[in-house]
Every structure is written in structure tokens, then in C-alpha cells.
Amino acid sequence: MTGTGGYWPKRIRSKAFKRTLTTAVADELRSLAGERIEDVLDGKLVRAIIADWDTRMVNREFVADLLIENTRRAGRRLARQNESLLDLLDAEMVADIDQLLSELAELPPSAEDLIAKMMQQEFVRRLLTDVIYSAIVNFYEKANPLFGALTARVLEEQIKGFIRLFMPMLQKQATAFAVNKQNQRLVLDFARTIIRQLLNEPLRHFAATAMPTQRRKTEAFVHKALGNPNVGALLREVALATWDDLYESIRHKRVGELLQIEAHSAWLADRCVEVILPALARPGILQLLGAEIGLAAGGKP
């Protein structure tokens, strides 16, 4: 390096410089703990980065490939896990989860609206039709063991058509039953049973079991979805809204309230220096530092 005699490449790699830098970083971290977050973090700048990040920086094809590969690896890891989620948690946490599930008393109004909308879906209509038809067939089997079931099956389409005539009334009655305060305990007991079963299920049962053709279609969908501008716009809006809410909640707080950097400044400084030193050793940065030393030696601003 002209004018520096290769000083910086040697200095940056020395133990003395590492110790000096670590001490300086630790001092700055302790000082930073007393600063307000809005004074050290430009919220508008972060927002601008989020707004343009996916269009200026992200290679969506690479992200899609990375997501697919990580999903495959996660599936392979899960396939080897015999423990359940409850097996991996301590007894106190399990008790807290069970207590939380037990304290569910009634469905919120939003859940009642959701149930009402679900009851209007075509899938539910078909399900109710099949349940009622099966009940009729079962009744005729018992009433007339020889010909009852056969008659019901021969007239299957006529019977289902008759059931569909009353479907709007049946859907209203089913919705009313589900949202009724006296019946919500049954719904919540069912939900608690499902949640407990999922928590007790071995993790390997959650591993992907799709056929190769299904996997290929899913992977193609991931590539298509990540390349869809509407999906990108939606993700960007969600990220911006999340940042706005988060920043508004923490902007007036001090850094030390959010992070315990004052108490753990030495530990954090060591970690930071491990990241900073390789960056300082990059050829372009070394050249910049050497040029600045040369300017300083010449008394130039």
C-alpha cells in the first residue's frame, strides 16, 4: 500500500488491534444502552429498505430454491424424530399449555362469524348431505334388513336431491348449534382434544409424505408464487405494517430496555469484533484505510 508500508493489513490481523477494537466496541455498547431507539435507528430509512428490498436485492429464484431445499431437509430431520412436541418441553410448560387450553370458555364473536361462513361452503353442504343420507340408509337397514338398504341406494340421487332442498335450513340449524353458548363447550372440547393430540403426536408423523409428482407440483407452485408480483406486493405490505407497528411501540424506549447490552457488553463486543474484523480485512476497505492514512499524513481533509 502506497504511503502506509502495508501497515493496516498487519495491524488489523494483530491481537493488540483486536483487543483495542473490542474495548472500544464494548464502551460504545454501554453508552448506546442509554440512548433512545429513535435517536440511533432511522425508522424511515429501515422502512425504505423494506419497501425496495424484494425488487432491488432479492433473487426470487434463488429464494425459492433455498426454501424448497430447506423444506426437504426439515422433512428428513422430522422423519427421524420419535419425540412429540410435549416430549421436548419441560413439565411446567406442558402444565401451562394444558391450563391454557382448559381455560378456553367460549368462542369469540369473530369465531362465530367464521363458523357461519364455513357452513355456507360447498364442502360442508356435501358433507351434511352425505351424513344425512348415511343415516337414512342405516335406518332402512335396521327397519328392513332384506330390502331397505338396497332401496335406499337405488334411490340415492332422489334422496340426496330431497335433502338438498332443505339444506339452507339445515345449515342455519347447524350454525346455530355450533355458536350456541351451551353447545360451545362441545366445540371447544373437540378443539382441545385435537390440539392435545397434535402436541402428543411424534414429530416424524409431520414429515412430508407427498408423492414425487405432488412434490414437483408443489415446488413449481413455490417458484410461481414467489415470482408473482401480487404475492410480492402483499408480503411487502405485511412487512411494512409489521415494521410500522413495531417501531411505533419501541421508538421512545431506550436501547437498554430492549436489549441487555450494558450487562453483556463484553460478550456482545467479542461477537461483534468477530464480524467486524473480516470486513475490515477486505481489500477494498484496506485500500480505503491506507488512502485515508496517507491523506491524514499529508494534512489533507
Q: Give the pLDDT of residue 191.
A: 76
Alpha helices in 155-282 (DSSP H): 156-165, 167-179, 184-200, 212-227, 229-250, 255-258, 265-280
Overall average pLDDT of the 17-21 stretch: 95
CB 15 within 8 A of CB 201: no
Can you give the pLDDT at residue 208?
A: 63
Overall pTM surpassing 0.85 (yes/no) = no
Place 2 in a pLDDT band, splitting at 50, 70 and 90: very low
CA 21 – CA 13 distance, rounded (Å): 12
- Quote the pLDDT of residue 17: 94
pLDDT (0 to 100) of residue 240: 94
Q: Which of 121, 148, 120 is nearest to 135 (CA)?
A: 148
Task: Please give the pLDDT value at position 3.
Answer: 43
pLDDT per residue over 96-145, tens digit each? 887 887 776 666 667 667 777 777 777 777 887 788 777 777 776 666 66
pLDDT, tens digit, 9 for 90 and up, residues 250-301: 999 999 999 999 999 999 999 999 999 999 989 888 888 888 887 887 766 6
pLDDT at 238: 93
For cell 403426536, the residue is 201
Taking the C-alpha atoms of residue 163 and residue 135, their distance in angstroms, rounded to an integer, is 12
Q: Output the pLDDT for position 215.
A: 80
> Where does the pLDDT of residue 176 fall: very low under 50, low under 70, confident under 90, or very high at 90 and above?
confident
Cell of 10: 498487519
pLDDT(5) > 70: no
Tell me the average pLDDT across 175-185.
Answer: 74
Rg (CA), the chain: 32
Name the residue with higher pLDDT: 112 or 60: 60
Whole-number average pLDDT of the chain? 83
- Is the pLDDT assigned to residue 18 strictly greater than 90? yes
pLDDT higher than 90, residue 44 = yes
State how far the Cα of 215 lies from the Cα of 68, in Å rounded to an integer.
10
Interatomic CA distance for residues 125 and 41, integer angstroms: 54
143 contacts 97 by C-beta, under 8 angstroms: no
Q: What is the pLDDT of residues 147-175, one digit of tens each?
A: 556 666 666 777 777 777 777 787 778 77
pLDDT reading at 38 higher than 90: yes
Residues in CB range of 15: below 8 A, 6 or more apart: none
Task: Map grid coordinates 353447545 to a residue.
Answer: 183
φ/ψ of 281, rounded to 5, equals -85, 0
